[in-house]
Chain A
Amino acid sequence: MTARGSRFAGLGRHLVLGAGAVLMLLPLLWAVRISFLPAEDVFSPQFHLLPSRWIGFENYARALTASPLPRFLLNGVGVCLAIIVCQLLVAIPCAYVLAKARVRGQWLLWLAVLVGLVIPPAALALPLFIMAAQAGLIDTYAGLILPWTISPLGIFLLRQAFSRVPDEIIEAARLDGLGEWEILVRLLVPAVAPAIGALITISLVAHWNDLLWPSVVVTSASKATPPFGVMLFQVQEIGSDYGPLLAGAIMIAAPLLALFILTQRRFLDGMAWLGSK
């Protein structure tokens, strides 16, 4: 009786969870559906759950040929890579000093990081645009990358992680004769690897999907990142042809999805690690 009871309870649990998952995935599934619909089905008065005729990957082919989508993807990879590398190069030493050094005026720096953390990026778009314009960075890769090289969130996350490394480990390393840079690179960075992983993930998602800043600073399609490129392409080429549009959207989301599925365990570990701190 209890075995059957628990089986029913298990079934119930899975039904609830499954329904939740489907609900979450519904917009994505809808996008996938539309990306396979021929143009006449999208606006036809009758509702077709499945395409009335199979057009295969025609919408995908159109998305790829009607716009420089591969170029957008390449731009996205390059810009995100540059941003993340710069963020780590800045955040790791900065966080180390904030966590472990005893420097006069350190609290002021920490305060600046916290202030930076609470200001929404959108609020900075205008001043950043003016600065970029004056520096002649409009419609350049540098204009896309430079404003995001210092990440208050990154400094904050890594500072918290470094604070958790016992001082005794650093002292032992000093006794062993290691220099400060070597201590940082060889001992502390591996010790906070989960936090670095989490930072990379957060940063990648934020900048890959960023629409606002590219739309401010980029004017030509050759420098566009994927979401902004797709938007350009919607307005200029396709108009309201939703099939190819959603095919494009799915293709720009796919790399992140694939990355997430491949690194799912590490990603969740990193997030759990952040949550447990």
Chain B
Amino acid sequence: MMDAESRFRDPSSLFFQFDTIRRYIIASYWVLITLALPLWWTTTSIERLPLPTSEVYAQAQKKLEIPLAICVDSAFSSHITSLQRSIRDAASYLDVQAHPGQDCSQFPGYAILPGEQILVEDRKLYYPPSADNLASTLASLLAPKMDHRAAQYSPRFRLSFTLLNEDSSAGQVITSWDIQQAIARHIHPITSALGILHNYTIESQVQYHALLAFEPRSLSNGTVFGLTPEDLTIFINSAEWTLSSSSSNDPVFHFVLFIPSARRRPLTILNSDGTPSSSSAFLIPQWGGIVILNLPPPPPTTLHLDLPDLQSSFSSFSRHLLTLLGFPRLPPSISYSSSSNTSLSSWQIDTLLRQRIHENVIQSHNTLQSTVTLVSQIDGMPVDEQVQSQVQGSLSTLHELFRYASVNLTFAEMLAYSAQALTLSSKAFFHPGMLAMLYFPAEHKYAVYTPLFASAMIPLLAAALREIAAWRKERREARAVGDVREATSGDGPKVDTKSVL
């Protein structure tokens, strides 16, 4: 017997419901949730490919030894050990093999030959046998300290030459300059000699109104104007002057030829004690060079600067450029051989190459190490295939460099290897894909996810539980009925089972 109320409460008795269909519906939700869980997991997890961490640390422990064979004339054979030691002390990355020889003048590499005065010629050093500090001279020639004014290594540099008329309205204006010839004469020799190190882009411009942001000091009744050392640090009026185009991301060296206004001429640089300096050029470390060109006041109002006018300015610029590129200076005691036609000796170029190779290797070691430590430190940082391959590429380039360095690589090839390792490692480090997930505190996550999931999960859970309970109840009842049937069938003859059903 069932009363009406319990009939409606029991889902199985509703006319439009069938147990099986209802259970399929509820089960389908759960099947979908279980199927969606792995999808949710894979789409929300961050791709973190493994990086060759132990390899990176092992590589960072290694030190590159650049082989350097020097033929030492028999006149200096007693100096060989002290010579080797002093170079090693100055630069531990050099693997110096100094060996005595009779005909060092024919030797293709570095050679130390007896001469009357200290001279360099190509890769030969002439040295008077009587002079004693050969070891220290050689050390300063082969491994000088890197100038802090030099820029960090970059495969590409942009050189920007600017002619600045301070105030064209004041009278005289320079409208053009023989920049192409000046560059060809003063800058190209450097860029071609050091073309092995960097790729250079050159741009130039002329500006007509470039006011200083301060008033130069007036000396001797306003006939001479002076710039104090403090003035020089604020000389560049960066708020008003546009000194280079922003067409690429390469580092830029700026070279500014400043023509003071006709009203404020001559403009001189003052020493710290206030006396006029003999120089009219100064260098801003890692930034560029500035030359102040005081023209005599001639009648014409417009003017063209031709090559002879630019001679001294551009020789300053070329000196600045060499400093900015880290080109080592010859020790003062050494002079160039009269037969060579350039101040860029192979000694210095090779030294710069070796320094840059050493720097690049150290730098790529550091960058690789930083990459792996950073990835292990910051959990939310993704590491994709590209980063992985860049790290591996950098590593394998370094491996090759280290393997072949002692065998048969020229300095130029070693530099190419080291530059590539550096480029790849920094590309990996600054890969745009490695942007870490934003940090959210745990309580924020609960605060966001609970209202979202709780409201959906509670009815689902409740329905599932109720259904399971109903199913178990049914089974229990079925079993009870079965028991009854068994019990009655055991008593066979007494009860007619059919009458019970």
Partners in one complex: no
